[in-house]
Structure 1
Amino acid sequence: MYSTNSSAAFQVSNESNNGLLFIPSSLPGFTQSGVYSRIDASGNHSIYQCDGVLCEVTDEERICPVCGQKMHIKSSRSITLRHLPFGFTYIHITVKVQRLFCENGHHTQMRSIPFRAQKHTITTALESYIEDLLASGCYTLKEIAERTGVGAHLVGEIDKARLSRLYTDQTELGPVLKKPDTCSRYLAIDEFKLHNGHKYATHIIDLETGHVLWIARGK
């Protein structure tokens, strides 16, 4: 089970914690309030559901970006994020997040979750783990999705963003491919069937490394 104490390596099971093993979650600002286990929809995996709240709202967070006045807590809602799996068990973190509002009616916003990955309902730790699995080149998108408990489509989005960081530069006109350090000496071009065989795609590979250099629909 996950603990909010990031300094301890492991907390040994004893009578006070009902025989559970506590591991530091490394989630900044998260205070765990409860945990329970359940089975996922497929019936093949166990899920540890960890509930908790964010730390106290800081004075900096309360400042309205429009008028500079102090904002107040209006309401709260729970957001569930997928976290690093523990063996073959998936971990879900449900955190209660407050909504702040300006009494002058200028602004309202949800508090940001410091450990949430941008654009995804997973933690930054899980996002980094997925990127490591992708970089290893040993797993397909489906295998990574099964290992981490996220959808294959999400794994594909993370892979696309990872490749974009590695091989493109951001300019005023948009992303531009980086110039490679070395040039290929031997190229191979081939086409293959798509779907039911009535459509084709063409790809170019480096014969020495096996890397796919270009791929597109059509012959």
Structure 2
Amino acid sequence: MKKSTGCSILSNSDKTTKGMIHVLSTSSIANLCKNIQDNFNIPTSIASLFEEIIDVNSTRPTADVVCPCCGGKVHVHDNPVTTLKDMPWIPGKPRILRVRFHRYRCQKCGHTFNENITFKYPGTRVTSRAALWIKILLMHQMTIKAVSDLTGIHWGTVSKIHKEIMDEALKTRSEELRKSGYRPKHLAVDEFAMHKGHTYATCVMDLDMGDILWVGAGRSIAAFTKFFEETDLEYLSEVEAVAMDMNASFNTLVEKYLPHAAIVYDRYHMQAQYGRDVLGAVRLEEARQHKEKADNLKLGITENIAEEQATKAEDSIKEENRLYKEVKQARWTLLCKEETLSDKKAENLKEILKKHENLTVCHTMKEELSDLFELRNPDLAAVEWEKWFKGAEESNIPQLQKFARLKRKRKEGLIAHSAHPITTGKLEGFNNKIKVAKRIGYGYKNDEYFFTLIRYSALPSIRNGTV
């Protein structure tokens, strides 16, 4: 066994350290020998303060090998060397195996092939026990970068091993569900941002089990079509309802591939859009009018105006500015349900609505909109939704009329909520996990790996931390 000499002059502490390295290395190599299968031996090793290099040579008799193509006898054609990274005996101190193996040539057909290195993990340049170590670290939710830094193994190799772990877990989960005869009843579909520049992906979740069934790049009809092409439609045969928002055209594909399933438009997207496009727009319009009145009153104050009139105008300006500020800052007061407001804010809301007729109408319609989603009788829901749309269209408030005109086209999906009270909320919450995963990983270059990670993160054992 050989050791590197390092510097020619060593202090006592250096000598002690190198002595410890020699003892630990010898013990570690003995352990390594147990993990290397027959037909390989370790003639030499070099250990330093920074790394350990171990030579591993093949000793397999040629007589034991036959050609995999014709079964003929072979001879050693070459003895190439490959390097493998092994589990280090001290973290941060790489261990490298220089493996010399046989390359054979058939004496009959001329076919050449390499000797199988039994302790090499397939498709990588690491040993099987190093791969096992990486798997254990990854299963404890360590990031790819953290594992790479700890093991000294390239992040690409760690990522490949992680992908295999995830694929195996997803396959096992799929087989468990199919063997149990499980069929999803309620689905949710939504999109999420992947990269800057408006690049999106579409995600489908089983709302009952919490599993992510599919993730695909894009949010177009063509992109979502791949879900139905890549998923066994028999597995989706018992789907009763699919929750989605109204922004995408996902409904057309659900109607085509799952005609038995009801389309349910998400209440929270609907209410959020109402708060932004109707209540918010009308609030800002009212605030703008107060600002314009104040500015016009200022222009009316000249040197020729009587002192009494000037004082009255200044008071009006102050009042208009006060109302402008009050309405401008009332966003959350108007959006919250009245019963959740404090006494002070409830009084403030009452004062605002008293002085702004359009805001009063829009706020009342907002409360009624929320109540419509609490209905559980489809027949009653159909009647009440029609009343709401009619009232909105007769309000003479442009923002409210436009909103009602657009949403009336999707009325059936709104009524369906009464029979299937599901939302995309669970999927929206999971999208936050996706954002965290992107932030931790500083983004992902490989979409396939990222999509697999999303599905893997939704597995019950991973969600609940029971791995």
TM-score (norm 1): 0.70
Other-structure match for 2:37 = 28
Question: Aligned partners of 2:128, 2:170: CA distance in 1, in Å?
Answer: 22
Which residue type is aligned with residue 149 of structure 1? Answer: G
**Shift in CA distance, 17/112, structure 1 to aligned 2, threshold 3 Å:** farther
Question: Aligned partners of 1:38, 1:88: CA distance in 2, in Å?
Answer: 13
Between Structure 1 and Structure 2, how many residues are aligned? 192
2:162 aligned counterpart, secondary structure? helix
Greater CA deviation, 65-74 or 87-96?
65-74
**What runs of 5+ residues in structure 1 fail to find an aligned partner?**
2-12, 40-45, 170-175
Which residue type is aligned with residue 159 of structure 1? Answer: H
1:163 aligns with 2:166: yes
Which residue, 83, 87, 91 being the options, matches 2:86?
A: 83
Greater CA deviation, 200-209 or 52-61?
200-209
TM-score (norm 2): 0.36
Shift of 1:185: 9.9
Shift of 1:208: 10
Higher-helix-fraction structure: 2
Q: Quick one: percent identity of the two aligned structures? A: 26
Question: Aligned partners of 1:214, 1:19: CA distance in 2, in Å?
Answer: 53
Other-structure match for 1:199 = 199
Other-structure match for 1:178 = 175
Q: CA RMSD for the aligned pairs?
A: 3.6
Higher-strand-fraction structure: 1
Question: Aligned partners of 1:67, 1:218: CA distance in 2, in Å?
Answer: 49
Tell whether the 8 Å contact from 2:62 to 2:74 is kept in structure 1 after alignment.
Answer: no
Q: Which of the pair has the greater relative contact order for Cα pairs under 8 Å at 6+ separation?
A: 2
Question: Aligned partners of 1:75, 1:56: CA distance in 2, in Å?
Answer: 14
1:216 aligned counterpart, secondary structure? strand
Question: Aligned partners of 2:129, 2:48: CA distance in 1, in Å?
Answer: 22
Alignment of structure 1 residues 18-167 onto 2, 5 Å: 19-21=22-24, 22=26, 23=28, 24-25=31-32, 26-29=35-38, 30-37=40-47, 46-57=50-61, 59-61=63-65, 63-86=66-89, 87-136=91-140, 138-167=141-170
Question: Aligned partners of 2:123, 2:162: CA distance in 1, in Å?
Answer: 14
- Residue by residue over 1:164-204, the C-alpha shift from the partner in whole angstroms, topping out at 9 and shown as x without a partner, is 222227xxxxxx94353688999887654333242223446
**What runs of 5+ residues in structure 2 fail to find an aligned partner?**
2-15, 220-467
**Shift in CA distance, 185/139, structure 1 to aligned 2, threshold 3 Å:** farther
2:23 aligned counterpart, secondary structure? coil
1:33 aligned counterpart, secondary structure? coil
Tell whether the 8 Å contact from 1:67 to 1:106 is kept in structure 2 after alignment.
Answer: no
- Residue by residue over 1:83-110, the C-alpha shift from the partner in whole angstroms, topping out at 9 and shown as x without a partner, is 1122221111111111111223432211
Question: Aligned partners of 2:88, 2:21: CA distance in 1, in Å?
Answer: 22
Question: Aligned partners of 1:17, 1:31: CA distance in 2, in Å?
Answer: 24
Tell whether the 8 Å contact from 1:66 to 1:106 is kept in structure 2 after alignment.
Answer: no
Shift of 1:133: 1.7
Q: Larger Rg: 1 or 2?
A: 2
